[in-house]
A and B are shown apart, each in its own frame.
Chain A
Amino acid sequence: ETGVTQTPRHLVMGMTNKKSLKCEQHLGHNAMYWYKQSAKKPLELMFVYSLEERVENNSVPSRFSPECPNSSHLFLHLHTLQPEDSALYLCASSQGGGTGGSDTQYFGPGTRLTVL
């Protein structure tokens, strides 16, 4: 266990559904991240939160909406997704209070998302 949990572990949704992914870290870290991992592609950094403020949004479509209510929790709200959004969504946290680029990141187990 890395101290980062994600729920649900698996999610199947239709293109018109609305769902949310949840991430919780028990490490007292200040930065949290959402990544998308598609088959045979590099990990894509989606969002970075540092001290509960969004510091990076890598041109992610608006059908993905992050929320960070406190430093321990991170959500990814999903609506009107496309089949190409099917992937493993990974959450991570790191100690850094800044962008955390130099810090070791601790990953959750991921949510396997399938969009029908």
Chain B
Amino acid sequence: SQQGEEDPQALSIQEGENATMNCSYKTSINNLQWYRQNSGRGLVHLILIRSNEREKHSGRLRVTLDTSKKSSSLLITASRAADTASYFCATDGGRDMRFGAGTRLTVKP
């Protein structure tokens, strides 16, 4: 399956700390995307990284991609309570996207 798997399943940190979430996948991909979901709501796209890119930044987000290890990481710097949400990686093997079960991030004020 080309479905991504996030690690850890849950992460709890203090406001101001950095949060790192990882995603592993099994097959070759064209791109990998990260999404965020607030409780009981729809997913919101955060960032897309293509298979020929190694790192990408967007505000306080930093995404890395290592295609040799079939893994990606999402770093949120200087976290805020409003960052509390579930974070999903989605892998694209060309036909459609597959999502993992997500990492539940809790940022304590």
Contacts and interface: CB of A to CB of B under 8 A. Distances in A.
Interface string A16-56: 00000000000000000001000011110100100000001
A36 to B, nearest CB: 11
Interface in B62-99: 88, 90, 92-99
Interface residues of A, number: 26
B48 A48 contact: no
Contacts of A6: 42
B93 A43 contact: no
A62 B3 CA distance: 24
Given A42-B99, A43-B88, A102 B94 contact: yes
B20 interface: no
Contacts of B99: 35, 42-43
Contacts of A48: 96
Contacts of A88: 40
Contact of A2 (B30, B42, B96, B100): B42
A106 B3 contact: no
Nearest to B33: A104
Interface of B: 3, 30-31, 33, 35, 40-45, 48, 88, 90, 92-102
Q: Which 10 A-B pairs have the closest CB atoms?
A: A107-B42, A43-B99, A101-B96, A107-B43, A42-B101, A101-B92, A109-B42, A104-B45, A101-B95, A108-B42
